[in-house]
Amino acid sequence: MPLKSPVNLDSISDEALLGTRVCDLPVTVSGTWLADCVEQLYRELADNGILFRPKCFLADEWLTPENETCIGIPFYLAHPRLTALEKHFMERAEGEERTECMKLLRHEAGHALYYAYRIHARRKWQRLFGSAKTEYGETYRYRPYSRNFVRHLEGHYAQYHPEEDFVETFAVWLTPGLDWRSRYRGWKALDKLNYVDRLMNTLRGRPPRHTSARQYWRISTLRCTLRHYYKRKRRAMAEEFPDFHDSFLKKRFLSGTENGTGSQPAAAILRKYRKELVDNIALISGEPKHLIRELLTAIQKRSRQLDLSTVDNESAVLLSISAYITSLAKNYQYTGRYRGKKA
């Protein structure tokens, strides 16, 4: 049986690329801009006297396997063609810009260091951050104005779990040139930063206690094609795409080509009654106002993009929008998702 020709990412057609298995992609961290980012991470650790160097490998997403001391970097960042493919299907490639890549590397390094030095076993850590045994949920609720947590990655990620709280705090502490003492002056989060500062001083020059670095979810184990990979990924993250609300909106409103005399833009109605909608839906659903605002903003923006309008009176529009957002909010309350997962 003849050997398969290696994939040439610079010349392969789009169709052939989608039919390629992830494990057959000729990419590594070495020799790419990612290697420079990893070296920068190592310098930052060395500058703070930390001996630990987490090994980095290509995986299906940003991750640090539980209880392992290595970092997975998404394979799509290892070649411009794959980055473009990620953006085509997912609208953005997380970590594409060097600044964002370094923020993510510092975050994942926090996880790896957390496992390497068994930090969760320290009583002071538990008093400040909480129990490491807290279960990870599929989603989390956050308080957008809380000063108990640092702000590093988007989405107030420090509020997800005690471990994420520590990891985000560590990432802020590690960031070169960031005056975190001034940035977080008066915040409760400063207590956590000061703790991390003292803790890292105790770890200076000390080798890690735990060195297991099994590379779970590395690309060599991913035998699905890129077509299947993105089909599955888009399905799992459907709520994050602008067209998530299209099915409801197209049933409820008229499209641009159907607009007639006397019709009003849907986005204008939503903007006009935004405060009333947020207040009433939050009261009915019991969900925080920031979540309702995010949903309403997405629906309003998508209505404008689709050039949707209506000839119905405003009361009817507000009633249907309120019912729709309330149903999403209540489903989120009980399942952690706006809609049930598709099989």
pLDDT in tens, 315-342: 988 998 898 888 887 776 665 666 644 3
From the number of C-beta atoms within 10 Å of its C-beta (0-12, 13-18, 19+), residue 177 rates as: exposed
Q: How many distinct helices (H) and strands (E) make up the chain?
A: 14, 4
Residue 46 sits at the vertex; the CA angle it makes with 42 and 47, to the nearest 5 degrees, is 115
| Percent of the chain whose predicted confidence (pLDDT) is above 70 | 90
β-bridge pairing 264-265 and 309-310 = antiparallel
Is residue 3 predicted with pLDDT exceeding 60?
no
Calculate the CA 107 to chain-centre distance. Answer: 12
SS3 257: helix
Burial 16-26 (b: 16+ CB within 10 A, else e): ebbebebeebe
The pLDDT of residue 306 is 87
Is residue 235 predicted with pLDDT exceeding 80?
no
CA–CA dist 106, 302 (Å, integer): 34
What phi and psi, each to the nearest 5 degrees, are found at residue 265?
-65, 130
